[in-house]
Amino acid sequence: MKIGILIFSDPALDNYTGVARLEETAQVLGHAVFRLYEPNFSLCGDELLYDGKQMPDVDVIISRPNFIEEPSLHFYVVNTLIENGYKVLNGKPSFAIAKNKIEQLCVFQKKGFPYPKSFITKNPESALKAAKQIGFPVVIKVAFGTIGKGVFYAPNQETFGPIVEYLAIRDRNPVIVQEFIKEADRKDLRVFIVGEKIVASMERCAPEGDVRANTSNGGTGTPVTLTDQEQKLAIQVATVFDLDIIGIDLIRSNRGPLVLEVNSNPGFSELERATGIDVAKAIIEFAVS
């Protein structure tokens, strides 16, 4: 089979896509692989060109949306590929919602999923009122971020104020002010789901001096056995977002598991190392199926 891997950056910036592992695994399984970089696409009417030429002949495309800006800027390539008959994993419109933490939060609220107490707010004054209502320490999140970038920890008002003031000037976008779950001990759970089935999961622990458990920032992963409640919640969230490949981040609290975020471009190198599970193979086999 001919498999395309769609990367939303130039080749020099394709980190965190897992493309090398996917490419290696696909070739071992006897499939041809083509790297497709979104900036190399051009659209003229209904005709989609790649490097100014006809699209390579591929049977299925694995989308790895490794961008952090407004998702609507990337719709046209995925939509046109689908309209032209290509099968695209993670090509459904919900991948855009999964790139926006504010929209994610709205989905959690609408569907009744448990999540840390959170406020969406735009100006520093209302943000401070929200933080006081939640109680310090709090976490501040921007709408678009990845690998832990755009997540801030504020133990008190003195730390909180300069952060939200800076974000108000820099982004002029709403931010999330969120409850800090102390009892989680700076750990969370990453649940990796392919085709609505849990492939692997791990507990991530933040490095010394940080609260972000992202392994790309120095956090470490260890195998974990999910409770029935955690498995059920992760599958429910994945089903709502309707993505073929999705990472669900949960956190353990005194009131049960809570949803932190979803990720439409979940990394899996640390997950494979920690669990010994061949996640890349699971993705390729699902794409082929």
Q: Name 143's Cβ contacts closer than 8 Å, sequence gap at least 6.
A: 100, 101, 102, 103, 173, 174, 175, 176
In this predicted structure, which of 65-69, 117-121, 160-164, 176-180 has the lowest mean pLDDT? 65-69
Domain ranges across the chain: 2-91, 117-180, 183-276
Would the pLDDT of 163 be above 90? Answer: yes
Distances (CA, A) of 21 to 184, 196, 284: 31, 21, 10
Maximum separation of any 2 CA atoms in the chain, in Å:
58
Specify the pLDDT at position 56: 86
Position 71, amino acid: P
What is residue 225's DSSP assignment?
Answer: P
Would the pLDDT of 48 be above 90? Answer: no
Specify the pLDDT at position 72: 77
Would the pLDDT of 215 be above 80? Answer: no
CATH of 183-276, one of 3.40.50.2300, 3.40.50.300, 3.30.470.20, 3.30.460.80: 3.30.470.20
User: Spelled out in words, what is the top-level CATH class assigned to the domain 117-180?
Assistant: alpha beta
Backbone angles phi, psi at 23, to 5 degrees: -65, -50
56-74: pLDDT as tens digits? 889 999 999 888 777 777 7
Buried b (16+ CB within 10 A) or exposed e, 129-150: ebbeebeebbbbbbbbebbbeb
The whole-angstrom separation of Cα 192 and Cα 159 is: 34
Q: Name 17's Cβ contacts closer than 8 Å, sequence gap at least 6.
A: 5, 7, 64, 66, 265
Would the pLDDT of 191 be above 80? Answer: yes
- Is 0.75 surpassed by the pTM of this model? yes
More confident residue, 68 or 244: 244
In this predicted structure, which of 77-81, 101-105, 110-114, 228-232 has the lowest mean pLDDT? 77-81
Q: Residue 181 class from Cβ within 10 Å (0-12 exposed, 13-18 middle, 19+ buried)?
A: buried
